[in-house]
Amino acid sequence: MYIYETAVMKQQYVRLTKAFDLKKLKINYACKALNNIAVLKYFKSLGSGLDTVSIQEVKIGLLAGFNPDEIIYTPNCVSIEEISQAVELGVKINIDNLSILEQFGHLYPDYPVCIRINPHIMAGGNSKISVGHIDSKFGISFHQTPHIHRIVKAHNMIVEGIHMHTGSDILDIEVFLQGAEILFQVAKEFTALQYIDFGSGFKVPYKEEDIETDIEELGEKITKRFKEFCKSYGHDLTLMFEPGKFLVSQSGIFLVKVNVVKQTTSTVFAGVDSGLNHLIRPMLYDSYHKIVNISKTEGRSRIYTVVGYICETDTFGVNRKMTEINEGDILAFYNAGAYCHSMASNYNSRYRPAEVLIHEGQDYLIRRRETLDDLIQTHVNVDIFDKVEVTV
């Protein structure tokens, strides 16, 4: 079961908004991190907009009550047909490659667009989650700005925003500011901008001694520089950010039950009733999640390697020290609010778990556990196979 606390989400949202002393600031929650409609509704109640990356997320955002102009759609490697659906729904469009920009200009010259720039900056340390490096599939290289202008001019397009995203786990604020300067250079070449979107990727702590993005320092430095740019530009623009993990990661925990304690010649395994189908980040990104035996908060400690029940290598944590584990104990995985349920699957025909939201001291079921009917509801039962005789 995944459990989320709105109090933590609000705390992170307020902290971020207070870090920037600007007349026009818009936080767009990146719903790919956690896309339950109840969570989206909560962020709307806080005043957030919505950052989406697929037409399905756009439609879920509309179902959650967001107005079209509160949603920005930033897809990657999708067809012009999908982007056309977003145009029909009236949301903000963010385009990240020259081919689509040219097709869009031909089809919708009067529809305002945002352009995603790749500044070739890596402000984070994990190459697996960085999207700003020179070989990234995301964004249009800032070296290709002249080509952008040729397309925009040829179709008389309306460019209302400029965007960048350097990836997750931003630690080096000075490097992030270098990316901002590149974005300012590009932005000043467009005369009708309404906003500049700096993306997000702010790092949150996963361990007690872990470091995180200094939001207050970043806010102070970006605020000063952004005000200077707006003054030189001639009017106040809106500064946008699109945080996902920063807002929800620490709000969530994931509860699993220990199926078996298995000792080999060198390792004591705690095998749980979950796997990479429910929490893929450790196997996909080498991510660390704190694990606690909440069935026994005190007592003797032992060293365990916590693994899942999937027929693959699905290790959650190696050589973790925690209070002695018995079969049936409940383990809690921390920082499970972001990219856990949203990346879950039915691999091995396993069901996806329930989600619970804690709001003002009350718990609410916001997604039930799946059943076999859910698992097979899209299967089409075709009766086309006659009995086949097999000769041995």
Q: What are phi and psi of 238, to 5 degrees?
A: -90, 130
Asked if 23 and 78 sit in the same domain, the reply is yes
* Cβ atoms of residues 287 and 128 within 8 Å: no
Q: What is the pLDDT of residue 166?
A: 73
Crossing angle between the packed helical segments 37-46 and 6-18, to the nearest 10 degrees: 40
* Cβ atoms of residues 340 and 2 within 8 Å: yes
Rounded CA separation 193/230 (Å): 11
What sections of the chain are H helices per DSSP?
6-18, 37-46, 55-63, 80-89, 98-107, 145-155, 173-187, 215-233, 245-248, 281-285, 372-376
Q: What domain range is 324 assigned to? A: 250-365
94, containing H or E segment: strand 92-95
Asked if 217 and 80 sit in the same domain, the reply is yes
Task: Report the CATH number at residue 170.
Answer: 3.20.20.10
Domain membership of residue 326 (yes or no) is yes
Domain membership of residue 374 (yes or no) is no
**Number of domains making up the chain:** 2
- Name the residue type at position 269: F
Domain membership of residue 381 (yes or no) is no
Asked if 210 and 270 sit in the same domain, the reply is no
The answer to whether residue 77 is catalytic is: no
Q: What is the pLDDT of residue 131?
A: 46
Rounded CA separation 336/72 (Å): 25
Domain membership of residue 135 (yes or no) is yes
Domain membership of residue 384 (yes or no) is no
Task: Report the CATH number at residue 275.
Answer: 2.40.37.10
* Cβ atoms of residues 197 and 230 within 8 Å: no
pTM: 0.93
- CB-count burial class (<10 Å; 0-12, 13-18, 19+) for 177: middle
DSSP summary character for residue 369: P
Asked if 136 and 263 sit in the same domain, the reply is no
Question: Any idea which residue has 């383990």 for tokens?
Answer: 331
DSSP summary character for residue 51: E
Asked if 163 and 267 sit in the same domain, the reply is no
Q: Provide the token pair at 334.
A: 């921390």
Question: Any idea which residue has 């619970």 for tokens?
Answer: 356
Question: Any idea which residue has 């689509």 for tokens?
Answer: 100
* Cβ atoms of residues 206 and 289 within 8 Å: yes
| Distance spanning both ends of the chain, measured CA to CA | 48
Asked if 98 and 201 sit in the same domain, the reply is yes
Q: What is the pLDDT of residue 163?
A: 96
Q: Which of 220, 243, 266 is the last residue of a domain?
A: 243
Asked if 30 and 110 sit in the same domain, the reply is yes
- Name the residue type at position 11: Q
Rounded CA separation 11/246 (Å): 11
Q: Provide the token pair at 63.
A: 């179902």
Q: Which of 243, 272, 290 is the last residue of a domain?
A: 243
Asked if 28 and 55 sit in the same domain, the reply is yes
Q: Residue 164, SS3?
A: strand
Q: Which one from 31, 77, 114, 311 is the annotated catalytic residue? A: 311
Asked if 170 and 282 sit in the same domain, the reply is no
pLDDT tens string for the chain (392 positions)? 999 999 999 999 999 999 999 989 999 999 999 999 999 999 999 999 999 999 999 999 999 999 999 999 999 999 999 999 999 999 999 999 999 999 999 999 999 999 999 988 765 555 444 444 456 788 999 999 999 999 999 999 999 999 997 766 777 888 888 889 999 999 999 999 999 999 988 999 998 888 888 999 999 999 999 999 999 999 999 999 999 999 999 999 999 999 999 999 999 999 999 999 999 999 999 999 999 999 999 999 999 999 999 999 999 999 999 999 999 999 999 999 999 999 999 999 999 999 999 999 999 999 999 999 999 999 998 888 877 777 77
* Cβ atoms of residues 208 and 164 within 8 Å: no
Rounded CA separation 181/58 (Å): 30
Q: What is the pLDDT of residue 130?
A: 46
* E-state strands within 193-349: 195-197, 238-241, 252-263, 268-272, 291-293, 301-307, 315-323, 330-333
